[in-house]
Amino acid sequence: MTRTPENDPRPSARRDLDGLRIVLGLSGGIACYKSAELLRLLVKAGADVHVVMTEGARRFITPDTMQALSGHPVASDIWDAREPNGMPHINLTRGADAILVAPATADCIARLAQGRADDLLGLTCLARPWGSGAERVPLVIAPAMNREMWAHPATQRNLRQVVADGAVALGVDAGEQACGEVGDGRMLEAAQIVEELIAVLSPKPLAGVRMLITAGPTFEAIDPVRGITNLSSGKMGFSIARAAREAGAEVTLVAGPVHLDTPRGVQRIDVRSAAQMHDVVLPAAARHDVFVATAAVADWRPAALSQHKIKKDGKKVAPTFELTENADILAAVAALPQPPYCVGFAAESEKLAQHAREKRVRKKVPLIVGNLGPATFGRDDNTLLLVDAHGEQPLPADGRPLDKLALARELVREIAARLAPPR
C-alpha cells in the first residue's frame, strides 16, 4: 500500500527549519570541509540556503559542491553581474531569516568587529537588517582556528565586540587540529551548529526561567555487578531539556545512567541511584523556577549492599534480600516552603488517566504528564496526557504519536503558558 499522510503510521520527519531562508557564509579555513555536511543538514531540516564564499574559502572547497547541495548559485563577488541591480549584498539579506558564518576564521571575526566591507561576506553581514524590529536578521558565527589564535587577546577582544554589536557567537570544540596541535578552536560539528541555529531562531517564552529536569532510570545496586533498574531510555527528559533551552530557559539536567548526548547549552549532572538523584535535586530545586520530574526513579532499593558478587556456588535456592523505600523526590520538592512549579510524570501500564489524577493529588503538584511507559520506553515517538486541576488534555491534541523532541516542544509551550501571568 502506498503511504499517504493520512495512513502513514510513522511519525513524520521533523523539519525544524522548514520555510526559513538561511544565508550560509564560508570564510577561508580548513573547517570548510565541515560546511558541506552543515549545508546538507540545513537543507534536510527544510531551510532554503544561499551560500556566500570568500576567496579564501574557495581554496578549501569548491563552489560547485556548495551549489550542488544548496540548489542555488554560490555568491562570492561584490560585483556579481548575475544580479540585475548589482547589489548581491542587499538581495541576499532582505527576506533572510538568519546569516550563519561557518567557519568564521580569526580574520573574518576581526573584519566583522571592524565593520569591514571589502569582500561580499563582510558586506553582506554589514548590510543585514540588524535592529530590533521584525525585519531583524540574526548573525550567528561558528569560530574555527588554531588554539593559539583562538586564545589570543586580539581574537577574544574582536569576538566580544562582534557579540556586543548583536551577533551570536557559538562556542568551539577542543581536540586535535589540522596543524597537529591539540586544544580549543575547532569548529563545532555540523549537527551541533544546526542545533544551535534552531535554538537561536526559536521563540523565547521561557526567557529568564530556570528549569531543573530529571531524566532516565536510576540503578539500585544489589551487589557490585547487579542492580534494580527499569527500561527508561531518558530520551523524553533529554528532549525536554533541549526544548526548554530553545525556549530561552536556563536548564539543569540531572541524568540517571543513560548513553545520550547532552543537549547544547544545558548543564548536566550525572547520578546513578535514587538517593544520589535526591541529594542533587533537593538543594538545587529552591534555586529553580520549574522542576520537571521526568526520571523513572526506582521506588525501592536493597536495604543492604553485598560487598561482593552474590555467587550461585551450585545452590538451588535463590538469594533473598530486604527492600527499603526510596525517598519521593517529586513530593519532597513540592513540599518545599517555596517550591518551584512542579511537573510530574506518570509512566503507567494501565488506567492512565485515573492513576495520573491520583498521583497529582497525592504528590500535591499542579501538573502531571501521563504516558504508557511499557509502550514507549526506548521509542523515538510518544503521546502524552496532561492532567491538572481543570481536567485532562491529550498531547498532541489529535492523539497521533509525535517524535519526542516535537512532543517536548509542545509540552514546553504548555508549561510556559501556565507560567505566564494572567491577562
DSSP summary character for residue 378: T
Element (H, E) at 160: helix 153-164
- With 50 as the cut, is the pLDDT of residue 6 above it? no
pLDDT value, residue 332: 97
The ranges assigned to domains in the chain are: 21-201, 210-303+315-419
Q: Which amino acid is at 369?
A: V
CB neighbour list of residue 404: distance below 8 Å, 6 or more residues apart: 235, 236, 239, 379, 380, 381, 382
Would 21-201 and 210-303+315-419 be classified into the same CATH topology? yes
Q: Please give the pLDDT value at position 7.
A: 43
Question: Is pLDDT above 50 for 34?
Answer: yes
State the pLDDT at residue 320.
Answer: 84
* Percent of all residues in the chain with a pLDDT value above 90, rounded to a whole number: 79
Rounded Cα–Cα distance for residues 200 and 141 (Å): 11
Mean pLDDT of 322-349: 93
List helix spans (H) across 323-363.
Answer: 329-334, 352-363
Distance of alpha carbon 132 from alpha carbon 353, whole angstroms:
45
Q: Where are the alpha helices (DSSP H) in 303-403?
A: 329-334, 352-363, 373-376
Q: Taking residues 293-304, what's their average pLDDT?
A: 93
- Known binding residues for CTP are 299, 309, 345, 359, 363
Q: State residue 406's pLDDT score.
A: 94
Q: Which CATH class name applies to 21-201?
A: alpha beta
> How far is Cα 230 from Cα 374, in angstroms, rounded to an integer?
10
- Catalytic, out of 32, 125, 179, 342: 179
Q: What is the mean pLDDT of residues 264-272?
A: 97
The yes-or-no verdict on residue 90 having pLDDT over 80 is yes
Type of residue numbered 411: L
What average pLDDT does the structure give for the chain?
Answer: 92
Q: 162, exposed or middle or buried, with CB in 10 Å at 0-12, 13-18, 19+?
A: buried
Burial of residue 420 (number of CB atoms within 10 Å: 0-12, 13-18, 19+): exposed
Query: DSSP secondary-structure letter at 296?
Result: B
Helix (H, G, I), strand (E, B) or coil at 182: strand
pLDDT at 395 over 60: yes
Distance of CA 105 to the CA centre of its chain: 25
Residues 6+ apart with CB under 8 A from 351: none
Question: Is residue 318 over pLDDT 60?
Answer: yes
Judged by DSSP in three states, 290 sits in strand
pLDDT value at residue 376 = 67
pLDDT-based confidence at residue 193 (cuts at 50, 70, 90): very high
Query: Please, which pLDDT band fits residue 305 given cuts at 50, 70 and 90?
Result: confident
Q: How much is the pLDDT for 14?
A: 66
Residues 6 or more apart from 379 whose CB is under 8 A from it?
235, 404
Question: Which three cell numbers, joined as nine digits, stand for 67?
Answer: 551549489
Q: Exposure of 339 by Cβ count < 10 A (0-12 exposed, 13-18 middle, 19+ buried)?
A: middle
- Confidence tier at 231 by pLDDT (50, 70, 90): confident
- The whole-number average pLDDT for the span 252-275 is 97
What is the average pLDDT across 369-387?
Answer: 80
For residue 365, pLDDT over 60 is answered with yes
- Which of 210-219, 235-244, 394-403 comes out lowest in average pLDDT? 394-403
What's the pLDDT at 378?
66
The candidate with the shortest Cα–Cα distance to 55, out of 63, 66, 67, is 63
Q: What is the pLDDT of residues 128-153, one digit of tens each?
A: 998 877 789 999 999 999 999 999 99
Task: Determine the Cα–Cα distance for residues 52 and 63; give it in Å rounded to an integer.
Answer: 9
Q: Which residues contact 154 (CB under 8 A, 6 or more apart)?
A: 110
In the numeric block, the cell 578552536 is attached to 185
pLDDT at 292: 98
Distance, CA of 382 to CA of 373 (rounded, Å): 10
pLDDT of residue 373: 62
The pLDDT, as a whole number, for residue 423 is 59
125 is catalytic: no
Phi, psi of 51 (to 5 degrees): -100, 135
Query: What are the C-alpha distances in Å from 219 to residues 271, 301, 309, 345, 346?
Result: 9, 9, 16, 18, 19
Q: What is the DSSP string of 23-45?
A: EEEE-SSTTHHHHHHHHHHHHHT
User: Region 6-33: what's the mean pLDDT?
Assistant: 79
pLDDT at 9: 39
pLDDT at position 5 is: 39
CA distance 164 to 168: 9
Per-residue pLDDT at 11: 40
Whole-number pLDDT of residue 374? 61
Q: Which residues are annotated as a binding site?
A: 299, 309, 345, 359, 363
- Is residue 24 predicted with pLDDT exceeding 60? yes
Which 3 state secondary structure label does DSSP give 224?
coil
Q: Kindly state the average pLDDT of the residues 71-96.
A: 91
CA distance 415 to 423: 16
The H or E element containing residue 245 is helix 235-246
Distance of alpha carbon 124 from the chain centroid: 29
203 pLDDT above the threshold of 60: yes
- What is the reported pLDDT for 420? 82
Fold of the 210-303+315-419 domain? Rossmann fold (3.40.50)
